[in-house]
């Protein structure tokens, strides 16, 4: 799926990530931990081609990102759903239209995907809020809408950047269950988080590998988590 080999990334004259070798295999579940500023978001951006490594090689579905043109990377990203930390939406469009935006951008006909959209909105518990505008949503509703938008194209990989950072524990648990369900459907999942309770809750239900960014490198975390 996604392979990093001796990857490094420098920013502002300093090295943020160094000598990272890692493979996200099909159907795997990973957590990525580390303090704020350690490079979790940067690492995720390397995983979906939003950033290019300054050293080493990143392969997406077998293709080196350096050899891919803009159109190729755009096609690759259809196979990778990203839940961004800041959950940006178009505030003048209803929630359902925001969730469906990837379909419209990709040229899918609205009619043929309408039923899939309704099922997805129901899956994340937002059917009753489908016509609401984004500013009217709670923090948990925004996060669920962001997850729905990330998976509307049925991607092979879902990367979630601090998806529970601004919501309560009950809603965090609900989002975690949705991601675990996706993993059980065969999707590869990586969640960047600093919430150790969330990791412990997941590990009782799914085989999850916990990675930690420390001293610019990604390391396997201890078994005490």
**What does the pLDDT read at residue 222?**
59
Structure tokens at 87: 């959950």
Mean pLDDT of 143-166: 90
Instruction: Quickly tell me which residue has 């295999």 as its tokens.
Output: 25
In a domain? residue 205: no
pLDDT digits (tens, 9 = 90+) for 95-126: 999 999 888 777 666 556 677 888 889 888 89
Q: With respect to residue 115, please indicate whether it lies within any of the assigned structural domains.
A: yes
Domain that holds residue 98: 89-154
Asked if residue 94 lies in contact with residue 141, where contact means CB atoms within 8 angstroms, the answer is: no
**Residue 179 pLDDT grade (very low, low, confident, very high; cuts 50, 70, 90):** very high
Main-chain phi, psi angles of 94, to 5 degrees: -60, 160
Which element (helix H / strand E) includes 180? helix 169-184
In a domain, 99, yes or no: yes
* Alpha carbon distance 101, 104 (integer Å): 5
Q: Which of 192, 203, 224 is nearest to 34 (CA)?
A: 192
Amino acid 10: pLDDT: 92
Decide if 57 is inside a domain: no
Helix, strand or coil, per DSSP, at residue 81: strand
Q: How far apart are CA 81 and CA 108, in angstroms?
A: 17
Please check the confidence at residue 217 and state whether its pLDDT lies above 90: no
Kindly list the distances between the CA atom of residue 128 and the CA atoms of 75, 132, 148, in Å, as whole numbers in the listed order. 32, 9, 14
SS3 category, 41: helix
Q: Is residue 129 part of a domain?
A: yes
At 39, list the tokens: 């490079």
pLDDT tens digit sequence for 3-48: 999 999 998 878 889 999 999 999 999 999 988 888 899 999 999 9
Q: Is 224 inside any structural domain?
A: no
Measuring CA to CA, which residue among 13, 21, 28, 10 is closest to residue 186? 28
Q: Which of 216, 100, 202 is nearest to 153 (CA)?
A: 100
Q: For 41-82, what is each residue's pLDDT tens digit?
A: 999 999 998 999 999 999 999 889 888 888 887 788 889 999
Hey, which residues does 76 pair with through a beta bridge?
Answer: none
Domain count, the chain: 1
- What pTM value is reported for the model? 0.90
């Amino acid at each position: 799926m996604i392979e990093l080999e001796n990857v490094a990334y420098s920013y502002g004259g300093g090295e943020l990530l160094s000598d990272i070798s890692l493979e996200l295999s099909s159907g795997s579940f990973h957590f990525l931990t580390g303090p704020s500023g350690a490079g979790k978001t940067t690492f995720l951006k390397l995983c979906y081609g939003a950033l290019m490594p300054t050293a080493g090689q990143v392969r997406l579905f077998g293709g080196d990102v350096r050899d891919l043109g803009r159109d190729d990377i755009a096609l690759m990203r259809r196979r990778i759903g990203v839940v961004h930390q800041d959950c940006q939406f178009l505030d003048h469009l209803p929630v359902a239209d925001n969730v469906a935006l990837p379909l419209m951008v990709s040229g899918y006909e609205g009619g043929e995907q309408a039923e899939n959209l309704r099922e997805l909105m129901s899956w994340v518990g937002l059917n009753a809020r489908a016509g609401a505008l984004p500013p009217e949503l709670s923090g948990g509703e925004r996060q669920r809408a962001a997850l729905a938008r990330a998976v509307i194209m049925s991607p092979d990989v879902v990367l979630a950047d601090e998806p529970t950072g601004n919501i309560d524990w009950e809603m965090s648990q609900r989002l975690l269950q949705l991601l675990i369900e996706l993993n059980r459907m065969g999707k590869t999942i990586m969640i960047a988080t600093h919430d150790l309770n969330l990791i412990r809750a997941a590990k009782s239900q799914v085989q999850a590998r916990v990675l930690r960014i420390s001293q610019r490198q990604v390391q396997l975390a201890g078994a005490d988590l």
